[in-house]
Amino acid sequence: MKHASVGGELRVSTSEATAFSGAVKSEAAIPEVGGSRKSVISARTTRKSQFNRGFWLVVLGAALWGVDPLFRVILLKSVTSSQIVLLEHLIIALLVLPALWKNRKELKGLSWRHGGALLFISWGGSAIASILFTMALSSGNLNATLLLQKLQPLFAIILASLLLKEKLPRNFFGLFLIALVGTYLLTFGFTIPIGHFSDFVQVSSLLSMGAAALWGGSTVMGRMLVGRMKYETVTSLRYVLALPLLFAITWNEGAAWSLPAGSTMFAAFTLNIIGQALLPGLLSLLVYYKGLTTTKASVATLAELSFPMVGVLVNGIVFQQVITVAQICGFVFIWAALFLISRQEQPAQVNELGA
């Protein structure tokens, strides 16, 4: 391999140049070869370690979303979709206000671009998307609703390419296809999930597609924001800023609050709404945004496919649904794709706070 010297100062053997060609290109003016080798190797190891840790944090955060139906489906028996989302946001907002006050200096000098991103993830990804998906769960063809949610990575990849100018990892689309096949097998097995195309063309399907687009866009906007402020601040603002819109939606809906009357039923309802707010709500997003600080949005959206895998485990453990051979194949496909992506050195560029 040919390697040009840098300003006449860098002299290495052919084998050394081959081994460290990628590092030499990124360190264009290194005066001492011996010292630079250690620093380059250390830097590359650190970047890869950060990427792996961040990638798997995104996987974990998304996996926590898989327990969401355990709480949400039960709550739908008592209150409406918008009421569930409002209560969830109120509980979380009360918990995150101290952290938001502590980090309030980060809000100074925010650009219109970052302000728009905050409104998108709070109003779009947190409030509206949650309501749309909850409404879709309670009506229409459930299989069609779940299948349409798999469009979310496509929205995220397109937006990440347009807004963040992200370059995709090696063999990304091949691995992405493998993960989608695994997700399909995990959800529907070796069968065709719907009998007619008309099953997609209904209100619940449109609601599901809207939620997928908003959540995919929120991944990209969140990646933009965690380069500007702490992940705790982004998580806090996501819930706090959504409250005015949720109050307006719930008030305009005009539905009565049908809370359980008996003490036992009310206690069960309270535990479910708190569990919904803390586990698939606050905790999952704290972990998710922490991982997103060193993970590209286009890669993170693939990591989010851990969500349906946990959903299947929950169905098997809680609802005693037997895991099939097709679902096992789906597990293998998704985890293989996630593992191969995590092996690549693709850390996201993180801007300094205040940049």
Give per-residue pLDDT as tens, 33-52: 555 655 656 555 565 566 68
pLDDT at 204: 75
Rounded-to-integer distance, Cα 294 and Cα 125, Å: 21
pLDDT digits (tens, 9 = 90+) for 303-328: 887 887 787 777 677 767 677 788 78
Query: Strand runs (DSSP E) across the chain, as ranges?
Result: none
Which residue, among 200, 187, 193, 223, has the nearest Cα to 305 in the 3D structure?
187
- Higher pLDDT, residue 256 or 206: 256
Please state the domain extents for the chain. Answer: 58-165+196-296
Q: What percent of the chain has pLDDT over 90?
A: 34
Rounded-to-integer distance, Cα 221 and Cα 228, Å: 11
Q: What percent of the chain has pLDDT over 70?
A: 75
pLDDT digits (tens, 9 = 90+) for 340-351: 877 775 555 444
CA dist 49 → 53, 80, 172, 306 (Å): 6, 44, 20, 20
Would you say residue 23 has pLDDT above 60? Answer: no
pLDDT at 193: 64
CA dist 46 → 54, 105, 270, 345 (Å): 12, 29, 44, 10
- Higher pLDDT, residue 49 or 300: 300
pLDDT at 236: 95
The amino acid present at 120, given as its one-letter code, is F
Gap between the terminal Cα atoms of the chain: 39
Contact 352, 200 (CB under 8 A): no
Would you say residue 13 has pLDDT above 60? Answer: no
Rounded-to-integer distance, Cα 85 and Cα 82, Å: 5
Q: Which two tokens stand for residue 5?
A: 């010297």
Residue with tokens 């008309």: 198
Would you say residue 5 has pLDDT above 50? Answer: no
Instruction: For CA atoms 283, 220, 350, 112, give the dihedral sign.
Output: negative
- Higher pLDDT, residue 87 or 147: 87
Report residue 83's pLDDT band, with 50, 70 and 90 as the boundaries: very high
Instruction: Reduce the DSSP state of residue 181 to 3 states and report it.
Output: helix
Rounded-to-integer distance, Cα 237 and Cα 247, Å: 16
Contact 241, 118 (CB under 8 A): yes
Q: Which two tokens stand for residue 145?
A: 């609703």
Residue with tokens 């485990």: 313
How far does CA 267 lie from the centroid of its chain? 31
Would you say residue 95 has pLDDT above 90? Answer: yes
Indicate the average pLDDT of the chain.
79
Least confident of 23-37, 151-165, 234-248, 276-290: 23-37
pLDDT at 15: 41
CB atoms within 10 A of CB 87: 21
